[in-house]
Amino acid sequence: MVDYITENEYLILAGGVGAAKFIDGLSRITNPEQLKIIVNTGDDITLFGLLICPDLDIITYTLANIVDREKGWGIAEETFSCLSYLKKFYQFDWFNAGDKDLATHIYRTDLYNKGFSKKEITKKICKKLGVHSEIIPMCNETVETYIHTPERMMHFEEFYIKYQSKPDILNVDLRGIEQSKLIQPIKKYMKTAERIIICPSNPIVSINTILSVENMKDLLQKEKQKIIAISPIIEGKTVKGPADKLLRSVNLEASSYGVAKFYKNIAGHIIIDERDCYLKEKIESLGIKVYCFDTLMKNIEKKKKLAQFTLEIKI
């Protein structure tokens, strides 16, 4: 068993439900202060005048132990009175934000309008909710992921929620990424972390968005031998979300091999699902060490076992 009393720090790259599940397991076998989590903010969107940060919120709610585990996002025992009434004023019905969730967005927006950075706001929210891990937005600057479809450009949240990821994908546009700056102390954590873990998140719209922040990829490449990626693809399909479709959109096969090919320049290790172990030799030809394990996190025990396996890999 992993001894959570160890002084080791773990740097995590995260976005979405897959990351939240993995971090849920990891937080149960480590001391929360050991976890330094860089979170995708490309999904951030402004609705009803409120700054909404879906990935930051799902990770925060998970670590605060208030997440709606049945849905995998939002807050447990939620009500939707405010959203119901907002529909009297807005012709808008595809983004479901509950009353408790809206309180987070109101607080965040209030602080943002007062001049606080996303990093500062995230720290305050974590403190209010009793989260002891350090959650760091990938950058303070505004970056929004847009999907170019045959019909029009649309925000990723609209593509994912309103249109259920059905439109064809022509291109992915990270608006504002050119102005993004690396947040301190991410550079320091890359050096001090015992290992760096890339969660089983969407490689294209979660992890690549983080990697596209100024200097992020170059700095990670220098730490390649201690970087472990976890594939979100099992038997050619994603557990949740459009990762398989997005991989194909950048001419990569929707498989653990496609994921490994995407990460080959930054990750020295990759965990793939045991059902995809037949791809091990093919992936190793890319120069990445491959480990097969059950990556389908159906319950708390499976989450913990995957997290433990990840920490026990010799780097």
Radius of gyration of the chain (CA): 19
| CA neighbor of 230 nearest in space, from 290, 305, 190 | 290
On the question of pLDDT at 3 being above 80, the answer is no
pLDDT at 286 over 70: yes
The mean per-residue pLDDT over the stretch 155-163 comes to: 94
Mean pLDDT across 160-175: 95
The pLDDT value recorded for residue 5 is 47
**CB neighbours of 128 closer than 8 A, spacing ≥ 6?**
107
pLDDT band at 4 (very low <50, low <70, confident <90, very high): low
Peptide bond into 185 cis (omega under 30): yes
CATH of domain 10-312: 3.40.50.10680
* Cα–Cα separations (whole angstroms), residue 300 to 103, 147, 304: 28, 33, 6
Domain boundaries, the chain: 10-312
- Answer whether residue 42 shows pLDDT above 50: yes
CB 53 within 8 A of CB 108: yes
What are 233's strand-pairing partners? 238
Reduced to 3 states, what is the DSSP secondary structure of residue 175?
strand
User: What is the distance between the alpha carbons of residues 222 and 134, in angstroms, rounded to a whole number?
Assistant: 23
| Mean of the per-residue pLDDT values of the chain | 95
Q: Which pLDDT belongs to residue 93? A: 79
pLDDT tens by residue, 298-311: 999 999 999 999 99
